[in-house]
Amino acid sequence: MNRKLFVSFLVVSVLVLANTGAVAQSPEPAVLQAGLGTSFTYQGELKKGATYVNGSCSFQFSLWDAVTGGTQIGSPQALDNVSVTNGRFTVPLDFGASAFAGDARYLEIAVKCAGDSQITTLTPRQALTATPYALYSSGNWGLNGNRGLSANDFFGTNDNMTLTFGVSNTVAYRIVPAVDPSNGFTPNLIGGSSTNGVAPGVYGATIGGGGTTLFPNVITGSGIYATIGGGRGNAAGGRYAAIGGGLGNTASGWGAYVGGGGYDGITNLGNQATGTASTIGGGIENIASNQYATVGGGMNNTASNWAATIGGGRSNVANNQQATVGGGFANLAGGLYATVPGGNLNVAQGDYSFAAGSQAQANHNGTFVWADSANLPFTSTASNQFLIRASGGVGINTNVPSRTLDVNGAIGVFDGGTRTYYGGLASEVNSQLVELGINDDATNRFGGAYNSAAQGGLFRVDARAGQDLFQFYGRPAGSTTSLTSLAILKASGVLYVAGGYHGTCRTDGNVSNGPICNQDVAEAFAANQLTEPGDVIALDAHDSATPTVRKANGDKNELLVGVVSTNPGLVFDNGETHLAGDNSQLITANRTVVAALGRVPVRVSLENGPIATGDPLAASSTPGAAMNATQAGQIIGYALQSSDEMQDGKLLMWLQVGEYVPAELVARMNDSSAPTQEVAALRVQVTTLQQHNSAQQEQIGALSARLATLEQAVAKDTPHSTSLPIAWPLMGGLLALGAVFAQRAWR
């Protein structure tokens, strides 16, 4: 049976649609156009002989890759009861998406109509030609893979158009053409919500996904090569900036990075890395606003200066270069290189300062301040301090301090030269015995150090019953003996010193300036006027209730007491005893310190002429000043310097209150040839001097009684080492003074 077949067909196979507008980097329409599917319509014309067929026929269609022979593609399509009118019929065919991969295809048709005994295969096979849609599809990739590809084949667009991928009929991913002026074509990749976008002029940017209609992820105008991994509401505006994800975060500095965060389950407060190469790891409401600034996480932290760092915590601030806050709450590192490791309300405001604990305030350069949990500020007061407030005690080599500072072990002190001194502190018997030692031997420290050959010393405080209260031990350099007792202070108040008392006093406390000796013994008196060191002092006879003194004025009837001490070695003060040192605080408007024995500076007047060494000194008419004694009467002592050696109107004298009789007067009294009346007058003068001397002897007697009392106290306990009670030198001096007075009284 000879049949003529005319075939025309339409193949629709659309894999990817290309946008036909201009390049679009702003959000795309969310819904894609519907695809055409893989089926196509076949229309043909069927004749039997020269007559068009009318009626119903059965068809079989198969697809081949060659006009004869070859390989069948897909499965044959069988269609029954196809209506044929005037020879024309139309049928739908679908050999699947993989049937048309761009190679030539041929359709073989077999037909059986009413009255036919068998199905007839028509020849030749019909070549399938492309319609416009099929022409478009022929250059695209198949859904089930492709074959026959070359190195120049690619998937995408041939023009400057955005390549869009969709999911569930919605835009999901876009590849947007962009050009780096220096490096060539580098498209922007935009994934996630169709509202995500990259600003015009930006190239090399990437948005991995995320975003919503209300909170899109965007890369703004300066975000060249910037990246947003995901999340929503994030904005990368700096070149090479990156945001890993999170909510509402901003990376606007060049090379800035925000790892994520911005939401804590309740609050939406994004992080902001605005400084160049700044970093925020996460958390919420954190700011890194300067170059290399870093915030690890936490909440409401701000690192606002060059390379400033905050590890975490809440409401912390690091606002100076390379300042650091480790964490905690409301801490401030405001100084250059300042550090706050954590804690609460600490401030390191000084450069290189350190503040830790609670409310520690290191406000000065180089200070270290540690404050405990007391709810009070603890503040530095000067630079380079090391301050600790620890109400529970500070322990070194111990974790159970029972005092403000507990040190378990030896203490080393470097003197800045070549030697380091090692000391130790030990206590026992319920802290009733405390020892503090020092030694320059590094190998023999506290415990056995003080019996080694090295130089060392030991101070002991012993509160146990029956023991010496204070004990001082020492050993000279190079000695091989054990420590020896140098001084002991008994609980009774008696002081024993091995070898006696030896020492040199200084006026200014500097031992290198040479000695100015404290060579007088003084006693405190009430005064009726302000006196000065060096003033000659007399007893005020008008005040009989309390022994009171005043400046001497040369009155022959006044009783001289002594001279206001400049720097006494020993002062008796109404039951208290003051040793050598600055006793200027004892001189006030109503009291003074009067030297009674020894060498003392005295203020002088030259109204009786120049003064030579050894001259007797009496009170002058100038209040408080001494002069050369030229006639019999009271004297205050003898000059140890001439008036040519005076300094500040004073010279050194030997204090010896008494009566002076000129040598020529003594000679005349002993001269038998002298007139009787003259001798009688001299006798009267001598009697007067003896009366004055008696009064002074009474004063000396009172002092002797006081010294005897001290001597009895000393005698109660004799020291085991060579010792000298402090009362003996004074007793000897006063007895010598009494002997001088007695000798002069008999002349």
In order of start, what are the domains of the chain with their CATH numbers?
Answer: 5-137 (2.60.40), 178-300 (no CATH), 416-491 (no CATH), 511-727 (2.40.300.10)
The pLDDT value recorded for residue 232 is 96
- Quote the strand ranges of 335-468, DSSP E: 339-340, 347-348, 354-357, 360-362, 368-371, 378-379, 386-389, 394-396, 405-407, 410-414, 420-428, 433-439, 456-462
| pLDDT tens string 692-705 | 666 666 665 665 56
Q: In terms of pLDDT, which residue wins out, 591 or 667?
A: 591
Give percent above pLDDT 90 in the chain. Answer: 47
Instruction: Please check the confidence at residue 7 and state whether its pLDDT lies above 50.
Output: no
Q: In terms of pLDDT, which residue wins out, 47 or 458?
A: 47
The pLDDT value recorded for residue 258 is 98
pLDDT band at 154, cuts 50/70/90?
A: confident
Instruction: Please check the confidence at residue 460 and state whether its pLDDT lies above 70.
Output: yes
Instruction: Please check the confidence at residue 747 and state whether its pLDDT lies above 80.
Output: no
The pLDDT value recorded for residue 411 is 67
Q: In terms of pLDDT, which residue wins out, 467 or 66?
A: 66
Provide the sign of the torsion angle of the four alpha carbons 117, 119, 123, 127, taken in this order: positive
The pLDDT value recorded for residue 15 is 31
Of 71-85, 148-162, 696-710, the one with minimum mean pLDDT is 696-710
| Contacts for 729 with CB less than 8 Å, ≥ 6 apart | 501
Neighbouring-strand partners of residue 588:
591
pLDDT band at 281, cuts 50/70/90?
A: very high
The pLDDT value recorded for residue 720 is 40
Q: In terms of pLDDT, which residue wins out, 515 or 706?
A: 706
pLDDT band at 662, cuts 50/70/90?
A: confident
Of 101-110, 144-153, 611-620, the one with minimum mean pLDDT is 144-153
Q: In terms of pLDDT, which residue wins out, 594 or 423?
A: 594
| pLDDT tens string 730-745 | 444 443 344 333 333 3
Of 5-19, 24-38, 40-54, 321-335, the one with minimum mean pLDDT is 5-19
* Contact assessment for residue 389 and residue 374, using Cβ atoms and an 8 Å cutoff: yes
Average pLDDT value over all residues in the chain: 79
| pLDDT tens string 358-382 | 999 999 999 999 999 999 999 999 9
DSSP SS3 for 705:
helix
Q: At what angle do helices 727-746 and 676-715 cross, to 10 degrees?
A: 160
* Contact assessment for residue 663 and residue 618, using Cβ atoms and an 8 Å cutoff: no
pTM of the model: 0.52
| pLDDT tens string 312-347 | 999 999 999 999 999 999 999 999 999 999 999 999
| Contacts for 331 with CB less than 8 Å, ≥ 6 apart | 313, 316, 317, 325, 340, 342, 343, 344, 345, 346, 347, 355
Nearest to 446 by CA among 486, 373, 397: 397
Cα(106)–Cα(99) distance, rounded to whole angstroms?
11
Instruction: Please check the confidence at residue 173 and state whether its pLDDT lies above 80.
Output: yes
Tally the residues of the chain.
Answer: 747
Mean pLDDT of the 629-637 span: 90
The pLDDT value recorded for residue 481 is 61
Instruction: Please check the confidence at residue 164 and state whether its pLDDT lies above 80.
Output: yes
| pLDDT tens string 538-586 | 998 776 678 899 999 988 888 899 999 988 878 888 877 777 666 677 8
The pLDDT value recorded for residue 737 is 40
Neighbours of 492 (CB within 10 A): 11
The pLDDT value recorded for residue 514 is 37
Give percent above pLDDT 70 in the chain. Answer: 70
| pLDDT tens string 284-318 | 999 999 999 999 999 999 999 999 999 999 999 99
